[in-house]
């Protein structure tokens, strides 16, 4: 593996290229524009194709077309841009076409602020588009994870013939860290059962959004639900940090979890039994990690997010199923959670319980 010091946006794009991505279409929006700029420089060097679409709608449609032809394809944006791409994402899922998408979250709603945030959690995990489809959603908290999950996402997209989302807050795409880049993946483009190649040898293939017959639509939905159930069994990723004897659990993901980890260590040094559960896949969500908490030991869960109102907290509450009180500490609009504020909130809860 090659080790380099890179900006997050560059590391994500390079990981995609090494995973075999040879088509990218996107549209500028802070803070993810540098992902697009890196693809513009780099894809021609590997005989790939870069296109800056005239809009987000055009870009997701171009990804749709390239992926349907069998090419590993990707796009990226931030919250308002993902809203515009929602119909295209729904189409990818409905037509069983694999693709990878990155959302570098900024403050919202509407155009919000251009600083990093975690305000698109609902959008990513509950309503990325219409029709009830879901995606596997990775939420890395450092650049190495961003590289690893981007690289992995293409294989999962093709396994399920479904889009996969990398959900990062804007701080991750703008920070710099040392990363180990994976080797270039060998991709067999001749063995892609969904690919529509036009005239020539081989089986006739049709990309379709399905039948309008109610029975056919229902069967498609049944198959989709079964796929989601398989994810919940096999694809959940979660980190449990210092939880074995914890009396207070911090729940956080992404950049908020980086800060929370340091806060947990600081409180441990002061004698507080605090641990952290970090969802790495926010969909499928690691409900079991919260269900398995010892209610005789854990007195409270503190959900920490860079979003107001809190969004992941609903999944945390589902996980604990009313057995453990859940409180929140949140910042928004591009404001980072602060370790001293987090610790003060946690101590107050700890002492109250």
For tokens 């996402």, what's the residue? 153
Give the H/E segment covering residue 276: strand 274-279
Q: How confident is the model at residue 190 (pLDDT cuts 50, 70, 90)?
A: confident
Lookup: tokens for 154 = 């293409």
Q: Write the pLDDT tens digit of every residue in 10-47.
A: 999 999 999 999 999 999 999 999 999 999 999 999 99
- Asked whether this chain's domains 2-234 and 239-352 adopt the same fold, the reply is yes
Please give the pLDDT value at position 204: 65
Backbone angles phi and psi of 15, in degrees to 5: -60, -40
Which sequence spans correspond to the domains of the chain? Answer: 2-234, 239-352
Q: Write the pLDDT tens digit of every residue in 246-257.
A: 999 999 999 999
Helix (H, G, I), strand (E, B) or coil at 7: strand
DSSP 186: P
| Cβ neighbours for 156, distance < 8 A, ≥ 6 positions apart | 136, 164, 235
Of 90-94, 105-109, 124-128, 144-148, give the range with the top mean pLDDT.
144-148
Q: Which of 250, 74, 102 is nearest to 172 (CA)?
A: 102
Lookup: tokens for 66 = 């390239």
189 pLDDT higher than 90 = no
For tokens 């403050």, what's the residue? 107
Architecture of domain 2-234: 3-Layer(aba) Sandwich (3.40)
pTM of the model: 0.95
CATH code: domain 239-352 is: 3.40.50.920
Distance CA 181, CA 8 (A): 12
Q: In the Cβ-directed half-sphere of 249, how many Cα atoms lie within 13 Å? A: 30
């Amino acid at each position: 593996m090659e080790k380099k010091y890179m900006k997050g946006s560059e590391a994500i794009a390079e990981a995609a290229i090494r995973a075999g991505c040879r088509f990218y279409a996107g549209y500028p929006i802070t803070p993810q524009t540098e992902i697009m700029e890196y693809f513009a420089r780099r894809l021609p060097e590997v005989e790939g194709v870069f296109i800056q679409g005239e809009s987000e709608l055009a870009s997701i449609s171009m990804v749709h077309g390239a992926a349907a032809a069998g090419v590993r394809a990707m796009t990226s944006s931030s919250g308002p841009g993902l809203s515009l791409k929602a119909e295209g994402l729904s189409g990818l899922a409905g037509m069983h076409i694999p693709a990878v998408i990155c959302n570098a979250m900024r403050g919202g709603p509407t155009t919000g602020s251009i600083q990093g945030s975690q305000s698109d959690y609902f959008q990513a995990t509950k309503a990325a588009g219409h029709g009830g489809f879901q995606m596997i959603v990775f939420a890395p908290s450092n650049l190495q994870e961003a590289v690893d999950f981007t690289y992995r996402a293409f294989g999962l997209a093709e396994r399920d013939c479904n889009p996969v989302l990398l959900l990062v807050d804007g701080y991750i795409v703008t920070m710099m860290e040392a990363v180990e880049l994976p080797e270039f993946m060998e991709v067999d483009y001749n063995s892609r059962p969904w690919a529509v190649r036009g005239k020539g040898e081989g089986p006739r293939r049709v990309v379709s959004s399905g039948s309008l017959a109610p029975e056919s639509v229902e069967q498609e939905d049944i198959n989709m639900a079964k796929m989601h159930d398989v994810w919940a069994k096999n694809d959940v990723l979660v980190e449990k940090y210092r939880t074995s004897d914890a009396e207070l659990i911090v729940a956080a993901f992404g950049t908020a979890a980086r800060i929370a980890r340091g806060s947990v260590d600081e409180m441990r040094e002061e004698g507080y039994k605090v641990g952290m559960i970090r969802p790495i896949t926010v969909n499928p969500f690691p409900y079991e990690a919260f269900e398995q908490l010892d209610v005789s030991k854990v007195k409270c869960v503190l959900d920490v997010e860079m979003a107001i109102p809190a969004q992941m907290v609903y999944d945390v509450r589902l996980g604990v199923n009313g057995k453990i009180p859940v409180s929140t500490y949140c910042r928004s609009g591009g404001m980072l959670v602060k370790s001293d504020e987090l610790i003060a909130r946690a101590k107050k809860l700890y002492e109250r319980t």
